[in-house]
Chain A
Amino acid sequence: MTKKKVILEVNDVSRSYFEGGKEFKALEHIRFDLYAQDFVCIVGPSGCGKSTLLRIIVGLDRPTSGEVLFEGKPIEAKNPQVAMVFQSFAIFPWLTVEQNVELGLEARRVAPSMRAEKAKRYIEIVGLTGFENAFPRELSGGMKQRVGLARALATDTVLLCMDEPFSALDALTAQNLRDEILELWSDPALPPDAVLMVTHSIEEAVYLADRVIVLSGRPGRQVAELEIDLPRPRNRREPEFYGWVDDIYSLIV
């Protein structure tokens, strides 16, 4: 595989919490790079600190030691080129679909007319045309997550970070969204360039990722970095697919 442009460097990141003078290690010595056109999944048992890692990567949390560089510079939470999709959707219940999608643009003081134009475009891409003026409580879970996705994409995201984006959805909706994410990712005309996703579902990771980073439980240590070289679109029924799932499963247990 030819080396592509590095966009994200995770350099020896550790994170500890201090409580009552005691140190609780959540993450230890995580290091990996992310390239343009990469699709990376981080898997691990619950409580291994994978969500903490993602929060550090997008700049919402700071590592106790080590650093995260995005295009060579230290990451900041408000960097619009790295956008986040949340497990609980985290869309604002008092804003319409369109206002939610415009949020990142509004924060960057993009002119209202341009905001509306962009929001419309991404609302169409995620298939929510006609719901621009709906409020989140009128939407199903899958539609809410589409709003979260459109909101993340609307800032011309380079790296899309997702924290278990499908685990609050029913199986069918989740599968549809997975395929749509893959489509977006593989379309060079549309953001994002690269995707980093945290999941506890090994099958999901094998279905989606180019590379899977496996973390062990408490504290989270990097156990393996695997390149999934299955051709796309992937078929869950094939023995090779199951081979990968079993391999990763044995690494975690």
Chain B
Amino acid sequence: MAALRRRLWVVGGAAFGAALAASLLFPTTATEAGGLGLLSLYSLARMFAAYALALVFAIAYGTTAATNRKAATVMLPLLDVLQSIPILGFFPAVLLFFVSTFNGSPIGLEISVVVLVFTSMAWNMAFGVYEALSTIPHDLEDAATEFGLTGWLRFRRLMFPAAVPKLVYNSILSWTNGWFFLVASEVFAAYGTTYTRPGIGSLIAQAGSRADVGGIALGLAALVVIVLGVDALIWRPLSGWADGFRIDVPRGETVRTVRPYEWLRWIPRFPGMWRRAATRFKPVSHVYVGASLRLEHAYARHPSVPKTIRRVDLALFLVVFVIVVSAGLVGLAGLFLHLPADAGEIPAAALSSFARLVVAYGLAIAWTIPVAAYVGRSAKASRILTPVLEVFASVPATALLPVIVGFALAVTAHASFGLQVASVLVALFSMQWYLLFNLIGGVRSIPGDLNEAARSFGVRGWTYWRRVLLPAIVPSFLTGSITAWGAGWNALIVSEYFPFTRDVHVEGLGWLLDKATFITGDSQLLLFSIFMMIAVVLAMNKLVWRPLIRRATVRYRVEAA
């Protein structure tokens, strides 16, 4: 792992060097991009704001769902739907809403970007918290109850630590996902000149619209450096820290004895100051403890009080839920009475979007399976290729937009065919990494015994693929496919409309959404297109992926001995 990290630094350094080279080759861009550091900070600030919100939401939602069974019956299906909705489809609506709420001030724009990135991070983390809390060993929960851990102390001593490993792991996924959406929303906001906000994504998009190669290169290099830097400085130490909270350590695996909280020791660098602060605040905390003790005594005398509070809590949640749902229904009914003029285009648009995603998915399968088989089975290939692939994957597909479109238009003679190729490529770049990394994981998880047995019976070549490799990777192939398709649907909104040099587009749901937002300002078409997309995605999840996964887990799961 340490070696891998070193290699990542090397690659990051190379990216930095490329940026330097680009600034030397294109000196005019370099002077313009002088504020690169500041732009990166803007983008990073949006990411951290969204992540902080997502963290608070995930802990609150996951904890409530795991501890309140009645609430869970509503909250879990809701989360499941939210998770499978292509969030980016909502961005135009969110954007219009906040911009008009704040009378076109930049604050509205910033809020809508943060909200979008938040929605790309939160659901997965909330699920993580819920999963971790619902799998705490019973004995540990019993011990907590037995020794009187309730309320805040129970959260601090039992629930939060138990949730840490899953929360950190899912945070890393969410963070990566967040980059895709951050860049997308910055690019997207850059479409209308009135909506532009400074950031790395908008820098790349604007450079793209000027066909400014140096600017694009600089922006991409800066993005790679930031992504790898955050990974090295925050996520890797954090996941080491999170290992200290794992409850079950798989056999044969030695966890370094990481001391929980140890990693955070660097915070109190000034022990004297902390002690002084502690003495200053002690009276306050005593008053607080006393007050809460009294309150607890009061509760103890009236055992119905906590129950009432919980009921009121649930009732409030249900009331809000009912209001939201009924408002949606009323809106829907209103919409159906006045069909927008373009509504007839929607089914055909959905079909062409779907067809393009199928082509991209096919391409992704075609190259990822052989590469995963190679990387997963050869230690040497893995050592060399993994860091390279990680760096490629660290660049959100949305940031590559100008490069991809330029490339596609340059290599194809016919412009409209070139656009189709560009659109498929953007979808491919959004989908392929999920497939690749899941597949590599799947190939690696083939037990050594199984491989050795195959070798000892002389199973090689095509027979090996058919009898060992392909069946073994079915589960991870499906997981990767679902995630890849989710990313593909999300990419629609940036993959069908390219307002860089000229306003060009291909037919599809994404184009309809963009058109409704920027050109016609038709909010009904916007909503209809979103509903269509959600309907297709939910139908695919329920009718294709879920049944496949159910069958695969029965037939293809490799049982650990």
A151 near B: Cβ within 8 Å? yes
Report chain A residues within 8 Å CB of B259. 135
Question: What residue of chain A has the Cβ atom nearest to residue B142's Cβ?
Answer: A60
Q: Contacts A109-B289, A137-B249 known; A90 to B142 CB distance under 8 Å? A: yes
Chain B, Cβ-Cβ closest to A148: B143
**Whole-angstrom CA separation of A155 from B293 in the bound complex:** 19
Q: Take A77-B145, A108-B148 as given contacts and tell me if A90 and B244 are in contact as well, using a CB distance cutoff of 8 Å.
A: no
Q: Does B139 sit within 8 A of A, measured CB to CB?
A: yes
Any A CB within 8 A of the CB of B246:
yes
Q: Which residue of A lies closest to B258 (CB)?
A: A135
Residues of B near A80 (CB, < 8 A) are: 147-148
Q: Is B72 an interface residue (CB 8 A)?
A: no
Alpha-carbon gap, A59 to B139, bound state (A): 14
Take A135-B257, A138-B257 as given contacts and tell me if A90 and B145 are in contact as well, using a CB distance cutoff of 8 Å: no
Any chain A CB within 8 A of the CB of B466? no
A103 and B246 contact, Cβ closer than 8 Å, known pairs A55-B142, A137-B255: no
Interfacial residues of chain B within 254-274, with CB under 8 A of chain A in the complex: 255, 257, 259-260
Q: Bits for B190-217, please: 1 = Cβ < 8 Å to A, else 0.
A: 0000000000000000000000000000
CB <8 Å contact, A92 and B146:
no
Chain A CB within 8 A of B247 CB: yes
Q: How far is the CA of A88 from the CA of B137 in the complex (A)?
A: 10
> Considering the chains assembled together, what is the distance between the CA atoms of A89 and B249 in angstroms?
16
**Whole-angstrom distance from the CB of B261 to the nearest CB of chain A?**
8
| B293 CB, min distance to chain A CBs, angstroms | 7
Contact with A along B148-176 (1 / 0, CB 8 A): 11100100011001001000000000000
Decide if B60 is an interface residue (CB 8 Å cutoff): no
Once bound together, how far apart are the Cα atoms of A18 and B99, in whole Å? 56
Contacts of B260 in A (CB 8 A): 94, 135
Kindly list chain A residues whose C-beta atoms are within 8 Å of the C-beta of B149. 103, 107
| Bound: A86/B146 CA distance, A | 11
User: Could you say which residues of chain A place their CB within 8 Å of the CB of B532?
Assistant: none
Q: Report yes or no: A92 in contact with B140, Cβ–Cβ below 8 A.
A: yes
What A residues does B161 contact at CB under 8 A?
Answer: 92, 94-95
Residues of A within 8 A of B293 (CB): 109
- Once bound together, how far apart are the Cα atoms of A135 and B249, in whole Å? 14
Does A93 have its Cβ within 8 Å of any Cβ on chain B? yes
CA distance A177 to B331 in the complex (A): 70
In the bound complex, CA of A94 to CA of B145 (Å): 17
Indicate if the CB atoms of B245 and A107 lie closer than 8 Å: no
Nearest CB of chain A from residue B359's CB, rounded to whole Å: 48
Shortest distance between the CB of B83 and any CB in chain A (Å): 28
Distance in Å: Cβ of A195 to nearest Cβ of chain B: 16
Chain B hits for A55, CB < 8 A: 142
Q: Are A90 and B148 in contact (CB under 8 A)?
A: no
CB pair A84 B143 closer than 8 Å: yes
Given known A-B contacts A92-B158, A107-B153, A58 and B146 have beta carbons under 8 A apart:
yes
Please give, as numbers and ranges, the residues of chain A lying within 8 Å of B142 by CB-CB distance.
Answer: 55, 60, 84, 86, 90
Q: Which residues of B contact A97 (CB under 8 A)?
A: none
Q: Pick from A78, A87, A91 the residue with the most CB of B within 10 Å.
A: A78
A78's contact among B137, B146, B289, by CB below 8 Å, is which?
A: B146
Residues of B contacting A196 in the complex (Cβ-Cβ under 8 angstroms): none
Residue A106 at the B interface, CB < 8 A?
Answer: yes
**What is the CA–CA distance of A108 and B147 in the complex, to the nearest angstrom?**
9
Alpha-carbon distance A86/B149, docked complex (angstroms):
16
Q: Which residues of B contact A135 (CB under 8 A)?
A: 244, 257, 259-260
User: Would you call A44 an interface residue if the criterion is a C-beta within 8 Å of the partner chain's C-beta atoms?
Assistant: no
B140 near A90 with CB under 8 A, answer yes
State the Cβ distance, B19 to closest chain A Cβ, in Å: 42
Our pick among A58, A78, A89, A104 for the contact of B150 (Cβ within 8 Å) is A78
> Could you give, for residues 127-138 of chain A, a 1 whenever the CB lies within 8 Å of some chain B CB and a 0 otherwise?
000000001011
A155 close to B147 (CB less than 8 A): yes
Tell me whether A159 is interfacial, beta carbon within 8 Å.
no
Q: Nearest Cβ in chain B — how far from A225, in angstroms?
A: 26
Enumerate A71-114 residues with CB–CB distance to B below 8 Å.
Answer: 77-78, 80, 83-84, 86-95, 103-104, 106-109
> What residues on A are CB-neighbors of B140 within 8 Å?
90, 92
Return the CB mask of B377-398 against A: 1 if under 8 Å, else 0: 0000000000000000000000
Chain A residue numbers with a CB within 8 Å of B137 are: 88, 90
CB of A17 to closest CB in B, whole Å? 15
B246 touches A78 (CB 8 A): no
Pick the contact of B146 from A77, A95, A108, A137 — CB < 8 Å? A77
Most interface-central of B142, B146, B157, B246 (chain A CB within 10 A): B146
Which of B145, B147, B150, B246 contacts A151 (CB under 8 A)? B147
* B143, B150, B245: the one within 8 Å of A90 (CB): B143
Q: Kindly list chain A residues whose C-beta atoms are within 8 Å of the C-beta of B153.
A: 106-107
Q: Are A60 and B245 in contact (CB under 8 A)?
A: no
**A89 partner residues in chain B, CB cutoff 8 A:** 139
Query: Do B244 and A60 touch (CB < 8 A)?
Result: no
Q: How far is the CB of B255 from chain A (nearest CB, A)?
A: 7
Distance A137 CA – B140 CA, assembled complex (angstroms): 15
Contact with A along B339-360 (1 / 0, CB 8 A): 0000000000000000000000
Is B150 within 8 A of A86, CB to CB? no
Complex CA–CA separation, A94 to B106 (angstroms): 44
Could you tell me if A83 and B146 are in contact, using CB atoms closer than 8 angstroms?
A: yes
Known: A77-B145, A90-B140, A135-B259. 7 other contacts (CB 8 A): A80-B147, A83-B147, A94-B245, A104-B147, A107-B147, A135-B244, A137-B257
B interface with A by C-beta (< 8 Å):
137, 139-140, 142-143, 145-150, 153, 157-158, 161, 164, 244-247, 249, 255, 257, 259-260, 289, 293
A-B contact list, 12 entries, CB within 8 Å: A78-B147, A80-B148, A88-B139, A89-B139, A93-B245, A93-B247, A94-B244, A106-B153, A107-B149, A109-B293, A135-B257, A137-B257
